[in-house]
Amino acid sequence: MTYRVTILPRNITLTVEAHETILEAAHRQGFNFPYGCDAGSCYVCAGSLESGTLKIKTNNEQVHAGDGDDSNTDDVLFCLAQPLTDCSIFIEGVLAPGEHPMINASCQVTNITPMGNDTIEVELRLPAGKKIDFHPGQYLQVILDEETECAFSIGSIPNKERTLQLYVGFSDKDERSRRLRAAFTTGNVVTISLPHGNCYLKNLESTAPLFLVAGSTGISQIKSIAEQCIREQNDTTAAQRQIFIYWGTRTTSELFLNDFFLNMTKSNNNIHYTPVVAEPDATWKGRTGFVHKAMLDDHDISDDAEIVLCGSPGMAYAVLDDFLATGIKEQQVQSDVFDYAPRNN
Ligand code: FES
């Protein structure tokens, strides 16, 4: 018998066998889970039970969430707790296997490059001497003040120069945008937190087809993931996988990384790039319409294909619905949107 334990606030899922404590299951599966004594003395592993029922193995006491006795559920020691049902628990500091710890860092703005259409490329340099890592596809938050944070996909991969690239679109009608434009000035220092997000490639050895679909500045996340795939296949014996990049924008002038991706396809014959413009000007000779429809027109999507979707919540859910209608399975599609803007909210 196994139980599913959801660990909040990160919303990480752990599978626990009936005879195991939550801490034992976490360690068996490679999670980083806070603990000290593993014997009920130090309280390092303490957290709360939010739903479900647990048993405390030393005295067989049952702890039920929602039975009105908060003292019982607020201070559960997970080194002693065995689930009796599926549960959700709350404990800070848990990392799933392969996850990097989240940190705050002060970074220098080392370069700003205008990309046209009120979009800039921002280069930030991370501080030396601090271990900071992320998975390509993850995002960071720029902290403007205690109440204002702005999320940006990281458009680069980890590198020894400790630099990060962001692609930032501005609207001067928006106060937050004006503040960001002022913060992103060469030489300034900005505070960021990273890494965030769970939308990255979990199996870098997969040879299944990979579809990277972006709307507008969502291309930043796609750039990072595609660069990671190229680095893997160049630096290791990782097999090449076929990678199909589809980028949809409203106008032709918004394709600010068009040349970058065209060059990427020239030097990597497993990378295929298709820009799709919704409202093209008379000079555009490429694809038009909806980006995901172009992808569906071009390919029969196999059951093992992996799809990463980057864009606004409206775009991501509309595309997901169209994908599901063609027989693509939900678990083939990942997007940050599914975590930060769940559809039932
Ligand atoms: S690890 Fe020490 S009380 Fe649980």
pLDDT tens string 240-291 = 899 999 999 999 999 999 999 999 999 999 999 999 999 999 999 999 999 9
Q: Please tell me the CATH code under which domain 103-196 is placed.
A: 2.40.30.10
Q: How far is the CA of 43 from the centre of ligand 1 (A)?
A: 5
Per-residue pLDDT tens digits of the chain, which is 345 residues long: 899 999 998 888 899 999 999 999 999 999 999 999 999 999 999 999 999 999 999 999 999 987 666 667 888 999 999 999 999 999 998 998 888 888 999 999 999 999 988 899 999 999 988 778 999 999 999 999 989 999 999 999 999 999 999 999 887 778 888 899 999 999 999 999 999 988 999 888 899 999 999 999 999 999 999 999 999 888 776 668 999 999 999 999 999 999 999 999 999 999 999 999 999 999 999 999 999 999 999 999 999 999 999 999 999 999 999 999 999 999 999 999 988 887 865
Which atom of ligand 1 approaches the CA of 38 most closely? Answer: 1
Domain ranges of the chain: 2-90, 103-196, 210-340
284-310 CB burial, b ≥16 within 10 A, e <16: eeebeebbbebbbeeeebeeebbbbbb
Give CATH superfamily name and number for 2-90: Beta-grasp domain (3.10.20.30)
Q: How many CB atoms lie within 10 A of CB 279?
A: 11
What's the 176 CA to ligand 1 centre distance in angstroms?
44
Output phi, psi for 181, to 5 deg.
Answer: -60, -40
- Sequence-separated contacts (24+) of 17-22 with Cβ below 8 Å: 18/82, 18/83, 19/82, 20/82, 21/57, 21/78, 21/79, 21/80, 21/81, 21/82, 22/54, 22/78, 22/79, 22/81, 22/82, 22/83, 22/89
The CATH number, out of the four listed (3.40.50.80, 3.40.50.2300, 3.40.50.720, 3.20.20.70), of the domain defined by the range 210-340: 3.40.50.80
Nearest CA residue ID for atom 3, ligand 1: 40
In short, whether 35's Cβ falls inside 6 Å of ligand 1 is yes
Ligand 1 close to Cβ of residue 24 (< 6 A): no
Does residue 97 have its Cβ closer than 6 Å to ligand 1?
no
Q: Does the beta carbon of 56 sit less than 6 angstroms from any atom of ligand 1?
A: no
Q: Which of 45, 54, 58, 76 to mutate to test the pocket of ligand 1 (most atoms within 8 A of CB)?
A: 45
Measure 54 CA to ligand 1 centroid, in angstroms: 16
Q: Is 286 in the pocket of ligand 1 (CB under 6 A)?
A: no
| Cβ contacts of 124 within 8 Å, gap of 6 or more | 107, 108, 109, 110, 163, 164, 165, 166, 190, 192
Ligand 1 centroid distance, CA of 194 (Å): 28
What's the CA-to-centroid distance between 40 and ligand 1, angstroms? 4
- In short, whether 17's Cβ falls inside 6 Å of ligand 1 is no
Q: Is the CB of 41 under 6 A from ligand 1?
A: yes
